[in-house]
Amino acid sequence: MPLALLIFGANSNVSLILLPIMVYHPLQIFINGLLANRWSKASGVNPPAPLKA
Distance CA 16, CA 24 (A): 13
Decide if 51 is inside a domain. no
**10-22 per-position pLDDT tens digit:** 777 777 777 888 8
Four-CA torsion 24, 26, 28, 32, nearest 10 degrees: -170
Decide if 36 is inside a domain. yes
Decide if 31 is inside a domain. yes
Helix (H), strand (E) at residue 9:
none
Amino acid 34: pLDDT: 93
Domain with 13, as residue range(s), is: 2-42
Decide if 16 is inside a domain. yes
pTM for the whole structure: 0.55
Domains in the chain: how many in total? 1
Does residue 1 surpass a pLDDT of 70?
Answer: no
Decide if 50 is inside a domain. no
Decide if 12 is inside a domain. yes
